[in-house]
Amino acid sequence: MKEIIKKRVLIPIIAITLLIAGSSFKGDFFEIAKQIEIFTTLFKELNMNYVDETNPAELMDTAIKNMLEDLDPYTKFLNEQDVESFKINNAGEYSGIGAVVRSYKDKVVIVEPYKGYPADKAGLKAGDEIIKIGDIAIADIQDDADELLKGANNTSVGITYVRQGETKSTTVNRESIEVDAVPYYKMIKENTGYIVLSKFNKKASEQTKEALLSLKNDGAKKIILDLRDNPGGLLTEAINVTNLFIPKGELVVTTKSKVKKFNREYKTTNQPVDTEIPLVVLVNGRSASASEIVSGSLQDLDRAVIVGARSFGKGLVQRPLKLTYGTQLKVTISRYYTASGRCIQSLDYWNRDENGNAVKNTQFRDFKTKNGRKVQDGGGVLPDIEIAAAKTNTLTQALLSDNVIFDYATDFYYNNTVENVLDFSYKDSDFASFKNYVSKSSFNFETKAEKALKEAMSGEDSTIFGNEVTDQYKSLLLEMDKNKLMALDKYKAEIQKNLEDEILKRYFYREGLYDYHLQNDEAIMTATVLLNDNGKYMNILK
């Protein structure tokens, strides 16, 4: 047991030592060494003397995670399995069942099966709850149950799952899975091409280039690049995608850090594909990181018109640092600044509120694009043309986070028939059924006003108000709760957009969803109209 303890103690020691070696703050060495010694002594004494048997690995894992929680959500300790997943995500290739999944304590839920891949061939659908993989019940596994779904090519695994309350089983034959960075591209009109770039893995710039050249060959004289819901990825790929539309040698992004070696200017290094073709880039509140480097710098260089809603606002750069035993520390090393010099980081993780939550930036500084247009920092990339239905709000975010929209889409799929994607229409009666679904669900959305009111009335001072005020307070909370259903109507456009997207994927996969968007999506239609009005397009950029 002592040997295990020694090995586990080495992990944070080596991690911190690496940080010391790369840091310019030599004056902190004594304080860091002191804290390491205190921790090492505490960890040893705790494991040797605690009244019950301890698990050093679990204790250390908890200690590391709690330490990193005080920083930002992107700085993480990666165990050996996490490291493998990280590599797969960046490479875009792995061996498994070909589905996006979500893990819980007692089940793994299929979020989206990829068309034509093993999970789809085996009949698995979005919403299926896997409760057993092979002979192992998910409830008996503490962590990473979804790792059991991965395995070598041409191996099979038995899966037991629950669908609409009925337990079923199937066998999935694992295959090599390729995750495309560009899952879809197509001509919209006779002269306008549309490209969806969904992630910035190692294939991003290559596949975007292939799509761009193919569309130009088909007659595209204008391009729409869709970065909505793209969470980001590799910084180098963001620069290479930007390079497709701007000349070689152009500054795209700058990174700044307390560690001098991480201070860099990133310029384009390749010959572009087309520096003149009119370009519109679509973003929304789930476009982050690398997506914001591309959209922000193309905006700063007046190379594209940005359409949609304010992006997520992630202006932080991470790098994996190798630790011992195949583990890594994915650590935030710098902030990035787009071509105009602005950092679009939205949340301040280093100055938190009284509840420990990161503070959202509300004060923005002005910057100038290449042509002198005003842009701002600190809150994501603000589009040149905003689309109301694309905006995010706390209610819609809560419905997504609590999987209310996802679960409703599952029920909708098993209770409705949709034959053709272009015939699909989400009616007012459907939205009424969604509101009814929300009212009967366990969804509990607490507004800031409710939270503040509850805190005020639960404190010691509440006793001075008397019964009459207390009763009024309860009535007010009840009335606020009732009005939440009315808020569903207020944000109907935003909510319905997410409902339609989730429902359409159930019937027609991603390809069908994008086909539907070409005919019905407000942002795409706005971009198409703009590109057909060269005068308006040029006026925005000037």
> If pLDDT is split at 50, 70 and 90, which confidence band does 502 have?
very high
Give the largest Cα separation in the chain, rounded. Answer: 78
Closest CA relative to residue 64, chosen from 75, 49, 53, 80: 75
Distance separating alpha carbons of residues 32 and 28, to the nearest angstrom: 6
Phi, psi of 200 (to 5 degrees): -110, 70
Catalytic position from the list 72, 146, 226, 300: 300
Helix, strand, coil percentages in the chain from 3-state DSSP, rounded to 5? 45, 20, 35
Average the pLDDT over each of 166-180, 195-209, 443-457, 477-491 and give the range with the smallest value.
443-457
pLDDT of residue 457 exceeding 90, the answer is no
> Please, where in the chain does CATH 3.90.226.10 lie?
184-318+335-346+358-387
CATH 3.90.226.10 fits 184-318+335-346+358-387, yes or no: yes
Distance separating alpha carbons of residues 415 and 273, to the nearest angstrom: 48
Residue 466: the pLDDT is 61
- Express as a percent the part of the chain with pLDDT over 70: 88
pLDDT tens-place string over residues 75-95: 999 888 788 777 777 777 788
pLDDT of residue 29 exceeding 90, the answer is no
pLDDT tens-place string over residues 401-440: 999 999 999 999 999 999 999 889 999 999 999 999 998 8
Distance separating alpha carbons of residues 3 and 47, to the nearest angstrom: 12
pLDDT tens-place string over residues 54-66: 999 889 888 998 8
3-class SS string, 57-95: HHHHHHHHHHHHHCCCCCCEEECHHHHHHHHHHHHCEEE
Catalytic position from the list 205, 289, 295, 297: 289
203 burial type by CB count under 10 A (0-12 exposed, 13-18 middle, 19+ buried):
buried
Distance separating alpha carbons of residues 86 and 458, to the nearest angstrom: 44
> Please, where in the chain does CATH 2.30.42.10 lie?
94-178
3-class SS string, 340-378: CCCCCCCEEEEEECCCCCEEECCCCCEEECCCCCEEECC
For residues 60 and 8, is the Cβ–Cβ distance under 8 A?
yes
Q: Annotate 41-57 with b (16+ C-beta within 10 A) or e (fewer).
A: eebeeebeeeeeebebe
Residue 354: the pLDDT is 73
pLDDT of residue 25 exceeding 70, the answer is no
Q: Which fold has domain 94-178?
A: Pdz3 Domain (2.30.42)
Residue 78: the pLDDT is 87
In three-state secondary structure terms, 429 is: helix
> If pLDDT is split at 50, 70 and 90, which confidence band does 70 have?
confident
Distance separating alpha carbons of residues 362 and 284, to the nearest angstrom: 18
Residue 464: the pLDDT is 59
Beta bridge pairs of residue 423: none
Average pLDDT over every residue of 512-530: 96
Average the pLDDT over each of 7-11, 37-41, 229-233, 256-260 and give the range with the smallest value.
7-11
Known catalytic membership, residue 257: no
> If pLDDT is split at 50, 70 and 90, which confidence band does 11 have?
very low
Distance separating alpha carbons of residues 20 and 42, to the nearest angstrom: 22
Average pLDDT over every residue of 104-124: 94
Catalytic position from the list 314, 330, 497, 505: 314
Known catalytic membership, residue 425: no
Q: Whole-number mean pLDDT of the chain?
A: 88
pLDDT of residue 539 exceeding 90, the answer is yes
> If pLDDT is split at 50, 70 and 90, which confidence band does 479 have?
low
Closest CA relative to residue 226, chosen from 494, 502, 527, 509: 527
In three-state secondary structure terms, 323 is: coil
Residue 473: the pLDDT is 66
Cβ-Cβ contacts under 8 Å for 95 (sequence gap 6 or more): 150, 151, 152, 153, 174, 175, 176, 177
Residue 88: the pLDDT is 73
- Express as a percent the part of the chain with pLDDT over 90: 66
